[in-house]
């Protein structure tokens, strides 16, 4: 069975640390032909959700690793007319080497793993967004690591505060990714937007201790944080709740008052796209503390590292 990556904890802590170092090498040596480890392979990209950074970074990354990226349109495939995932996965396994999937239901990605024999990478589901977390942690490690220090060591013991919808794929991914890399994760959002209790079972299954706390008090969660993170308040699929969400999320905007409670060296991160004036003020989004575009760039390098590691 080929290795897949559906959640942050599909890799061990030592594997995850190695992936950070590999991302650093791939970023430094971008264009070096020795890294074309997928030469001659074909990987498919199947997206049920719209995308900018995910599609571009994966398509470019596969090309730079030597693979042929094949874009699949679910609406023009037989699975759009009722063919089962089981049959689709079995057929795909006879043709291609890997599948990048960005979809709604996490179980769909799980089914491709259980029914097929190809590398499956979770490019986002409603439950988790693990590739983003590896890029985020790589970005922070670049900022924090001392010369000669392993990147993974530089993030251990650091505290990240997350704001907004704490039942989202990004919040869940930070809980898992933070625990894997030894970070403390604080989350703050309105009542009814706490993390899904299922994430505690994910931690237990991975042999990791609970590393997070949730509070409805945004300022308390900000105190002394090393990094501050937010995401859009209305994710794809939540459009019908837009007005309600915008109203209840207002106290959780990342702005100067909140950042002033964090460490004076704290960084601001956002997985993008951002809605300035909603989840983050323009002042913070464009401040020197904001590393959102380094973070976006590092999707490419982190994902290349993940795919390289899977293909070994």
Q: Active-site residue 253, yes or no?
A: no
Catalytic residue among 10, 24, 106, 132: 132
pTM higher than 0.85 for the full model?
yes
DSSP state of 145: P
The phi, psi pair for 264, rounded to 5°, reads -70, -10
DSSP state of 255: -
Name every residue whose Cβ is closer than 8 Å to that of residue 223 and which is 6 or more positions away in sequence: 261, 262
Q: Active-site residue 166, yes or no?
A: no
Q: Do 8-128+299-310 and 132-296 come out as alike in CATH topology?
A: yes
Per the structure block, which two tokens stand in for 113?
A: 């793993």
Please determine, for residue 50, whether its predicted confidence score (pLDDT) is greater than 90. Answer: no
What's the average model confidence in pLDDT over 26-42? 98
Q: Active-site residue 55, yes or no?
A: no
Per the structure block, which two tokens stand in for 89?
A: 């996965």
Banded model confidence at residue 81, pLDDT cuts 50, 70, 90? confident
- Domain range list for the chain: 8-128+299-310, 132-296
Banded model confidence at residue 155, pLDDT cuts 50, 70, 90? very high
Q: Active-site residue 10, yes or no?
A: no
Which sign does the torsion angle of CA 57, 58, 64, 70 carry?
Answer: negative
Name every residue whose Cβ is closer than 8 Å to that of residue 291 and which is 6 or more positions away in sequence: 139, 143, 267, 268, 269
- CATH of segment(s) 8-128+299-310: 3.40.50.1370
Classify domain 132-296 at the CATH class level: alpha beta
Catalytic residue among 35, 106, 299, 301: 299
Catalytic residue among 226, 231, 245, 303: 231
What's the average model confidence in pLDDT over 58-66? 98
Q: Active-site residue 312, yes or no?
A: no
What's the average model confidence in pLDDT over 114-139? 98
Q: Active-site residue 294, yes or no?
A: no
Catalytic residue among 35, 102, 106, 186: 102
Banded model confidence at residue 283, pLDDT cuts 50, 70, 90? very high
Per the structure block, which two tokens stand in for 81?
A: 């007319």
CB distance 97 to 41 below 8 Å: yes
Name every residue whose Cβ is closer than 8 Å to that of residue 260 and which is 6 or more positions away in sequence: none
Catalytic residue among 129, 172, 186, 270: 129
């Amino acid at each position: 069975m080929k290795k897949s990556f559906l959640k942050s904890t599909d890799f061990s802590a030592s594997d995850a640390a190695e992936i950070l170092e590999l991302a650093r090498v791939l970023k430094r040596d971008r264009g070096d032909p020795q890294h074309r480890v997928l030469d001659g392979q074909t990987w498919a990209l199947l997206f049920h959700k719209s995308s900018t950074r995910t599609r571009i970074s994966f398509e470019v990354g596969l090309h730079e690793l030597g693979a042929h990226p094949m874009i699949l349109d679910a609406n023009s495939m037989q699975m759009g007319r009722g063919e089962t995932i089981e049959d689709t996965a079995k057929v795909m396994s006879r043709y291609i080497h890997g599948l990048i999937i960005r979809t709604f239901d996490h179980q769909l990605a799980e089914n491709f793993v259980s029914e097929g024999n190809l590398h499956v990478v979770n490019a986002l589901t409603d439950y988790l967004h693990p590739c983003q977390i590896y890029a985020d942690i790589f970005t922070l490690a670049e900022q924090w690591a001392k010369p000669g220090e392993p990147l993974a060591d530089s993030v251990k013991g650091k505290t990240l505060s997350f704001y907004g919808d704490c039942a989202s794929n990004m919040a869940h991914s930070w809980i898992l990714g933070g625990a894997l890399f030894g970070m403390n994760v604080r989350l703050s959002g309105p009542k009814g937007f706490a993390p899904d209790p299922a994430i505690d079972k994910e931690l237990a299954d991975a042999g990791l201790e609970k590393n997070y706390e949730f509070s409805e008090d945004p300022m308390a969660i900000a105190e002394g944080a090393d990094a501050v993170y937010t995401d859009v308040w209305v994710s794809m699929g939540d459009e019908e709740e837009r007005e309600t969400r915008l109203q209840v999320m207002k106290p959780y905007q990342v702005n100067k008052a909140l950042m002033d409670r964090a460490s004076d060296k704290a960084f601001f991160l956002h997985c993008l796209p951002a809605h300035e004036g909603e989840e983050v003020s323009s002042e913070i989004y464009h401040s020197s503390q904001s590393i959102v575009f380094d973070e976006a760039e590092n999707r490419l390098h982190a994902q290349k590292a993940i795919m390289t590691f899977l293909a070994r």
